[in-house]
C-alpha cells in the first residue's frame, strides 16, 4: 500500500529515468514497475489534445486504420468480385 511519505515517488522515479536517459517504452516500463512496486496502481486518464500534438491515433487499427486490417481487405475484394456479377 502506498504511504503518505511516498507522495513524491513519481517525481523521484521520473527523475531517475531522466538521469538514466531512458526514452519511450523503456522509460514508461521503468516508471510503471517502480510505481507498482511502491504500492500504486496505474489509472489511465485523458487530456485535451493540443493542435500541435504529435501523437496521432489515426494509425491505430482500433480507430479504423486499414493497415493490418485483414477483414477490411477481404471485404474490399469480395465487393470487387460482387461487382463482376452484375
Residue 64 φ/ψ region, left for φ over 0, alpha for ψ in the -120 to 50 degree band, beta for the rest? left
Single pTM value for the model: 0.49
For the stretch 63-83, pLDDT in tens is 665 555 555 545 545 455 555
Q: What is the pLDDT of residue 6?
A: 73
Q: Decide: residue 82, CB within 10 A, 0-12 exposed, 13-18 middle, 19+ buried.
A: exposed
Amino acid at each position: 500500500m502506498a504511504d503518505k511519505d511516498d507522495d513524491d515517488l513519481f517525481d523521484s522515479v521520473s527523475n531517475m529515468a531522466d538521469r538514466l536517459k531512458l526514452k519511450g517504452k523503456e522509460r514508461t516500463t521503468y516508471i510503471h514497475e517502480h510505481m507498482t512496486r511502491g504500492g500504486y496502481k496505474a489509472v489511465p486518464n485523458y487530456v485535451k489534445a493540443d493542435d500541435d500534438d504529435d501523437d496521432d491515433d489515426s494509425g491505430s487499427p482500433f480507430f479504423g486504420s486499414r493497415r493490418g486490417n485483414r477483414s477490411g481487405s477481404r471485404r474490399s475484394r469480395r465487393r470487387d468480385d460482387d461487382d463482376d456479377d452484375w
